[in-house]
Amino acid sequence: MPRLVTAFSNPLIKRVRSLREKRHRRAEGLFIAEGLRILAEAEQAGRLPLYLFYTEAMRGHPLVVRLAAAAESAGGEAIETSLDILHKLSGKDNPQTVLGVYAEFATDLSRLDRSAAGLWLVAQALRDPGNLGTILRTGDAVGAGGLILIDDCVDPFSVEAVRASMGAVFTVPLAQARWPDFLAWLRAGPATLVALSLRTDTDYRAPAYPRPTFLLTGNEAQGLPADYEAACDLTVKLPMRGKADSLNAAVATAVMAYQVLAAHDGAAA
């Protein structure tokens, strides 16, 4: 049976609220996801919340009923609470009426099977959670094998990144690594590493992009370090015909991902 929690001083409420901070997420190994759509994506990916919070208004919603039953069967807990408390937990002025707390999942490179897909996304030193979440959504849209985060990126399990991913954090495999470890793993098998760069004259539409293609996007402000670019098999450039010198990192990644898909489809035809 669901538990009713209405007090801000409840220890569980304080514990879940603390997950908005990275140090507490790391210490607990837990993160927050909000909204029916995202929680439904998680369920379809085989991940159930350890704690499911919802308001009285959502008590009889079919998906909430199903999620609550599934979570409890798996050893989790369903909790009915107020919208004010959900606001405290999510940090949003207009919080979703359903919120889940999930166990973080392993993000080591050894979990990835490069033969599982022809396209992989790689991002180095991303700072914006919105960009990270959007790149995850792109990964889901193009059927990428996964997203590999290089060096010190924004936390993919932050509330903002999970929200921006619209559930793709549950559907796109994630890995995190330092650059030397990533390169060693990459060169241990077939791979074509392609960097988005402003320091090249190669148009992004020119290469054939052999499979598997690992598409590398750099930091929003600085781009990729020169030695990282030098280690790549290809560097390509998106033409800028206006006054801007570059696209947003997530937008550029999406444009390139679909170009790689088109190249792969053309090669297979």
Hey, what CATH class is 3-103 in? alpha beta
pLDDT of residue 51: 98
pLDDT digits (tens, 9 = 90+) for 80-117: 999 899 988 988 777 778 999 999 999 999 999 999 99
List the alpha helices (DSSP H) in the chain: 11-18, 22-28, 36-44, 62-73, 83-90, 129-142, 159-165, 168-171, 179-186, 226-230, 249-268
**Domains 3-103 and 109-268 belong to one CATH topology:** no
For 70, 210, 264, the CA distances from 268, given in Å and listed in that order, are: 42, 11, 6
Residue 269, pLDDT score: 67
Domain ranges of the chain: 3-103, 109-268
Mean pLDDT over the full length of the chain:
94
Indicate the pLDDT class of residue 182, thresholds 50, 70 and 90: very high
Backbone angles phi, psi at 259, to 5 degrees: -65, -40
As a whole number, mean pLDDT of residues 222-247 equals 88
Strands of the 3-4 sheet, one edge to the other: 3-4, 77-81, 51-55, 98-103, 30-34
Q: Are 250 and 168 in contact (CB under 8 A)?
A: no
CATH topology of domain 109-268: Alpha/beta knot (3.40.1280)
Q: Quote the pLDDT of residue 26.
A: 95
Closest CA to 34 of 99, 127, 91, 114: 99
